[in-house]
Amino acid sequence: MGTPATLIVTGFDAQHFDLAQDFADSFRQAYQEQYQLAAVVFGPQAPPPQLSDRFDRITRLDASGPSFDAGRNGYFLAHAGVKARLRDIFPGYASYCWVDADCWFQGDESLPRILAGMPGFDLCIHPEFDVHYLNFPTPSERTLHIYRTNEAANLSAMPLRMPMVNSGVFAMRTDSRVWALWDAELTGLRQRHERGEAVFFSDQIALHKLVYLNQLRIYPLRAIDNWQTYACLPMIHRETRCLRVPTPPHEKIGVMHLAGRSKHQQLQIDGQTLTLRYRDMARLFAA
């Protein structure tokens, strides 16, 4: 047999089991067994069988590293370098596609579009630069804060005015040069942290820095394949029973990304209080 083609991977802890189940349910509804699906689970609590059974492969990680404080130091997945080490965690695949567990698939159109750029590019990823994000500045205050924390001595050399690349959805070949660069960047942050320096662990900021400073060749994913709900709510389209871009031509959104507080945002629809989660939208459109 040849090398398996593409592994789809996500990651979560017990606080996100419900989101992970929505993610997996939407994935299986869209793609059935077309792709293998894997998960990195961290924290002391194992996922319940009804969740773990939805994945082809699962690996468990420790809850945290030495002296790691998620409230102060950032994200454990970045501290552990999970996204940058997918080919080491799950070896043997020709390519990898990461999708955050607070995402869900609306149909089967997105993955072929996401994977289409892998042959000729270092990285397939969505730059957060879209007409629907017009109320969010570049750089955002969050981006500035993390860069000021991690790059204070060299801030003027950082690509602050370049669109953020959203690491919630990305795809790369196993031989992409990005893996080693990204892993080295996050390893450097861990070493600084162990020396007692104040650093913030964000795999996205580290990748943003690498993309522009190393002139990596990115295949830009469109917003419909990583729709940032914190930046713009979708349009509920009754006739086609799906969520669409709120401005013409009202394209169907392929991947909903419930980033930030939009995970819990409540909407009043038809007298019901609903969220943008897969289970709520599936129930709405099934009615």
The structure tokens listed for 119 are 């042959």
Render pLDDT for 7-26 as a digit per residue (tens, 0 to 9): 999 999 999 999 999 999 99
In this structure, are residues 22 and 278 in contact, taking their beta carbons and an 8 Å threshold? yes
- Confidence category of residue 260, pLDDT binned at 50, 70, 90: confident
Looking at domain 6-227, its CATH class is alpha beta
Task: Report which DSSP code applies to 184.
Answer: H
Q: Give whole-number Cα distances, 4 to 92, 94, 269, in Å.
A: 7, 6, 43
For the chain, the domains span 6-227, 230-286
Residue with tokens 């040849």: 2
Distance CA 67, CA 65 (A): 6
Of residues 87, 9, 82, the one with CA closest to residue 42? 82
| 57-71, 150-164, 201-215, 241-255: least confidently modelled range | 57-71
Q: Give whole-number Cα distances, 9 to 18, 97, 218, in Å.
A: 17, 6, 20
Indicate if the pLDDT at residue 1 is higher than 70. no
Cis omega (within 30 of 0) on the bond before 249?
A: yes
Average of per-residue pLDDT values in the chain: 94
Residue 151 CA, chain-centre distance (Å), reads 23
pTM of the model: 0.95
Pairing of strands 123-127, 218-220: parallel
Cis omega (within 30 of 0) on the bond before 139?
A: yes
